Structure 1
Amino acid sequence: MSAPSKVIPEDAFNMENTAQNFIQSRPRALVDIPVRLIIERLKLLGKVDQRSGCLLDVGCGSDESSRLLAKNFHHTIGVDPSAPMISYAIAFDNDISDVEFKVANAEKLPIEDSSVDVITAMFVLHYADLEKFIPECKRVLKPSGVAIFYRHQISKILPAENDALPVIDGPVKVMIRKLLEKAREMSHPSFHQYELYQTQFDAIIWEEKSREINELEFAPDSVWTLGSWSRFYHNLPFYQKAGKNGVNPLTELVQAVKNTWSMQDRDSDDIKIRVVYTTVMILLKWQYVKTFHCKLGISCSSQSVKL
């Protein structure tokens, strides 16, 4: 199995201020909407039924995804390598019981054999050592268990107040690719993120697997400005590392958006935007998938696809 590993420094979110800035700047919908999509998939498999079963949420971070998913399971375990993130998760005020959090790496899960019904992992697969993580998934899953790995990346930026203005798509891909190429040079040569988990999917050895790609439009918290969007990405560890090394395509991207819309003199926080992401979900032990076409994470239509 040829797979990426150790792409993010081990202390990426172990700095208290880094974890706090990330949590505060992340729009809520970037968690809420993916969780809703994951729950829809689990319903198709009969894995969401009056809080039955055990869920393992790998890379749970500060807990937003785990708490939302926990409402559908009897017991939920969240693991993350960042101690500050787990501290935030434990301190989170929520009345959901039967949720526990542990500091642990994806490659060495502190979970008993054959004890988990569902594994979820959002924005984790491109960080993990698959040669160790996938066998761990097989070890802890029950024979009828399933694993769902999910991530998304920017596809388009649209104006929120004037549909007549052009969509920003080409510059987005150019700028993001430039940043990721520099991030690869500074972190790990196997950092395959831009191609939507194709490398990871090919590397995973599993009896039944599928990979689904869709475009999904997010309107986080109903308000997202060009300024708030760029600040969120500035708080990601590898963006910060790239910036320290003189690479800041986010600044270039913000300027490109302003130039395209003739808004050079406007403050970034006064420019409301809509963002379309290309989403990818890898599902293990599925016999079929249903592709969902969603806008704003509110309504979806589906279509069955045989593997």
Structure 2
Amino acid sequence: MSAPSNVIPEDAFNREETVQNYIQSRPRALMDIPVRIVIEPLKQLGKVGQRSSCLLDVGCGSGKLTRLLAKNFDHTIGVDASAPMISYAIAFDSDNSDNEFKVANAEKLPIEDNSVDVITAMFVVHQADLDKFIPECKRVLKPGGVALFYRHQISKILSAVDDALPIIDGPVKMMIRQLLEKAREMSHPTFHTHELHRTQFDAITWEKKSREINELEFAPGSLWTLGSWSRFYHTLPFHQKLRENGLNSLAELVEAVKNTWSMQDRDSNDIKIRVVYKTVMIVLE
């Protein structure tokens, strides 16, 4: 396993403006997806509802998702390399003594040996040095503990008001994927496809591991407009990197959707969409 390429600025989420925009733009529905794909396998493995169970969420960001997962555990620890993100997590969680948040990177976890029942990590594998991260996971997990690494990316875009409009997939989906991959390759070469994640997952040495791939749509009632959806993605580091280089693949993507639906003259904020995400998760037991 090799260390990733650090083309995304290391301080991407240490900029206060970036953190605020990310927190304000991130929809609750996007957090419902990982909660759904994580809790169910943990229930099947008997890791939810145990007495004195402890969860470690690596790359917890502002802690919003961590707090949703924490409802299923007696104690939860969230770690993230971004100090501003952890500051927000602590501020939002000041009344809950069962959760704690710490500034730390994935390669050096400030956690005692054999003290954690479950480790979760979303969008961490592509950035962490796996030669250091995996041994750290094994060190802090209790015997019989479980680690879940997962990520998701857009699979389909659908109209939220007109089922007769074409689903954005097939040739148009391929064009969208190419636009997003162009953005990612410029900002972080290892952050672009499920195929690369599959390679990384296969390189992980663990006694027992399995992979699950699912397609999940936002929870009913959690609708985005084309405008609000693109604004959220503008807060992510690889799109910030693109804009710094005078490129904006999201603008091209938005125009592609509008052209496909013959809505060139419509305001993006008035076009309601549903988004289906493909999720990939590896379970390490």
Normalised by the length of structure 2, the TM-score is 0.93
Distance 1:221 1:80, change over 3 A: farther
Residue equivalent to 2:100: 100
Asked if the contact 1:126/1:193 (under 8 Å) is kept, the reply is no
Q: Which residue of 2 aligns with 1:277?
A: 277
Aligned-residue offset at 1:41: 1.2
Q: CA deviation at 1:221?
A: 5.5
- Report the equivalent of 2:147: 147
| Structure 1 residue 174: Cα displacement | 2.4
**Pairing 1:72-221 to 2, within 5 Å after superposition:** 72-93=72-93, 95-169=95-169, 170-187=171-188, 189-195=189-195, 197-219=197-219
Instruction: Report the identity percentage.
Output: 75
The answer as to whether partners of 1:119 and 1:148 remain within 8 angstroms in 2 is yes
Assess, with a 3 A threshold, how the Cα gap between structure 1 residues 23 and 172 changes in structure 2: closer, same or farther. farther
Moved more, 194-203 or 41-50: 194-203
Q: Secondary structure at the match of 2:278?
A: strand
Corresponding residue for residue 12 of structure 2? 12
What one-letter code is carried by the residue in structure 2 that aligns with 1:123? F
Secondary structure at 1:211 match in 2:
strand
CA distance in 2, matches of 1:220, 1:20: 26
**Following the alignment from structure 1 to structure 2, what is the Cα–Cα distance between the partners of residues 233 and 199?**
25
SS at match of 1:222: coil
C-alpha RMSD of matched pairs (Å): 1.8
TM-score, normalised with respect to structure 1: 0.87
1:40-89 alpha-carbon deviations (Å, 9 max, x no partner)? 11111111115631110000000011111112212111000001100000
Paired position in structure 2 for 1:296? none
For residues 131-179 of structure 1, the C-alpha deviation after alignment (integer angstroms, 9 at most, x for no partner) is: 1111110111111100011110001111111111111113334233333
Contact 1:255 1:264 in 2 (8 A): yes
CA–CA distance in structure 2, aligned partners of residues 283 and 137 of structure 1: 13
- Aligned residue pair count: 284
2:113 match: secondary structure? coil
1:33 partner SS: helix
2:13 alignment partner, SS class: coil
The separation in 2 between residues aligned to 1:239 and 1:148, in whole angstroms, is: 27
Shift of 1:191: 3.7
| Bigger fraction of residues in helix | 2
Structure 1 match to 2:33: 33
In structure 1, what is the Cα distance between the partners aligned to 2:101 and 2:246?
Answer: 37
Q: Which residue of 2 aligns with 1:292?
A: none
